[in-house]
Amino acid sequence: MPQMMRAVEIEKPGGPEVLKLTERHLPEPAHGQVVIKVAWAGVNRPDALQRAGLYAPPPTASDLPGLEASGEVVVVGGGVTDLKVGDLVCALLPGGGYAEYVATPAAHCLAVPEGMGLKEAACLPETYFTVWSNVFNRGGLKAGERFLVHGGSSGIGTTAIQLARAFGARVFATAGSADKCDACAALGAEIAINYREQDFVEVVRAEGGADVILDMVGGAYIPRNLKALAEDGRLVQIAFLGGAKVEVNFTTLMTRRLSMTGSTLRPQSDLAKARIAEELRDAVWPLLAAGTVKPVMDQSFDLADARKAHARMEKSEHIGKIVLKVGG
C-alpha cells in the first residue's frame, strides 16, 4: 500500500476550473468501514453543487467530491464481517470518490453484479439508491400505475425509467431534444415528451394523470406537477434545478388528495443507507445480473480531466452517466 494517492480536490468554490489534481494521504477505515482501491468513480450533480459551494459535505465526510465508486476492497476495518480483501464492489460514498482510495461503510457496498464490469458498476450506487428510495419507498409506485420522470435522459432518469418499467408501471418521461426523447423511449418510456415542444401536463392528463412524479426541476414545475397528478397522486422532489421557492395553491392538494414528499440521500444516517442497500441487493441486483436493467453510459474521462467531466454534465448534453477512470 502506498502512503500517498492522487485525488481531485475543490480549490475554492466556483466552476469546473476549480477542480485540482493533488496528492493526499490514504484514508484509514473507521469501525465498520472498508477502504476501496478505486477503479472508476461516478460523476453526479451533487458533486457540482459541492464544487460550487452549495452542498457542504457532512462533518465526518471527506472534503473531496465523489459519491459513488467501484473497485477492490484493500483494507477491512474493525467489525466488518461481510467483506474481505480482494472483493470487487461498488459503493455509495459519504464523499471522497475522486481519489485512488476511499473509505466508506461496508454496509453501503454492494457486489459488482454478475457479468458487469467495474466501469458500469461505478454508475449504480448514487442513482439506484436515489431512485429506489424515492420512487418505490417514498412514492410507493406499484405495478399498473402511471409514472412520470422529468429529465428522463439523465443518470437518474434512465435508471428510473428502467426500474419503473421492470416493476410493471406505465412510464412517461420528459426530455429536451428529439435524441433524448428517443433514448427514453428505447429504455421503456411509453411516451417521451419533448418539453420544449409539448406541455407535459396536457400529455399526461390525457392518459389519466400520473400516480407518481419524480422531479428534479422544481420551481415553476411544482404547480404544473400537481396539475399533472391523478387523484391520490404523489409528487417526489429530489432536486431544484429550477429553484426551490414557488407559490402553490394547496387547495388542489387537499381536494384531490395529493401527497408531496422528497429527500436528499447524503445527509441520511448510515443505517438508513444500509437498509436501502439491503433492499437493492434483494430486489434490484438480480435484475442487473439478468440484464433486465442496466446503466446507460455517456462518456468517461480520466481522473485528471474531472474539469471536463463537470463541464459536460453542466451543459446537459449527456445521456446517462459520466464516469472518471481512476485506477488501472
- Spatial neighbors of 11 by CB under 8 A, at least 6 apart, are 18, 19, 20
Q: What pLDDT, on the 0 to 100 scale, is given for residue 104? A: 98
Q: What is the pLDDT of residue 237?
A: 97
Q: What's the average model confidence in pLDDT over 154-158?
A: 97
pLDDT digits (tens, 9 = 90+) for 275-325: 999 999 999 999 999 999 999 999 999 999 999 999 999 999 899 999 999
Q: What percent of the chain has pLDDT over 70?
A: 100
* CA–CA dist 17, 11 (Å, integer): 9
Q: pLDDT confidence of 128, banded at 50, 70, 90?
A: very high
Q: Across residues 266-271, what is the average pLDDT?
A: 95
Share of the chain above pLDDT 90, in %: 97
Res 1: pLDDT: 86
What is the arithmetic mean of pLDDT over 210-220?
Answer: 97
Question: What is the structure's pLDDT at 93?
Answer: 98
Give pLDDT, residue 63: 97
Residues whose CB is less than 8 angstroms from the CB of residue 196 and which lie 6 or more positions away in sequence, other chains included: 176, 177
Find the mean pLDDT for residues 243-255: 92
For the record, the C-alpha cell of 244 comes out as: 426551490
- Nearest Cα residue to 139 out of 263, 46, 308, 318: 263
Sign of CA dihedral 154, 160, 166, 168: negative
Residue of 59 and 161 predicted with greater confidence: 161
Residue 328 has pLDDT above 80, yes or no: no
pLDDT exceeds cutoff 80 at 38 = yes
Is 140 a residue whose pLDDT tops 80?
yes
Kindly state the average pLDDT of the residues 217-232: 97
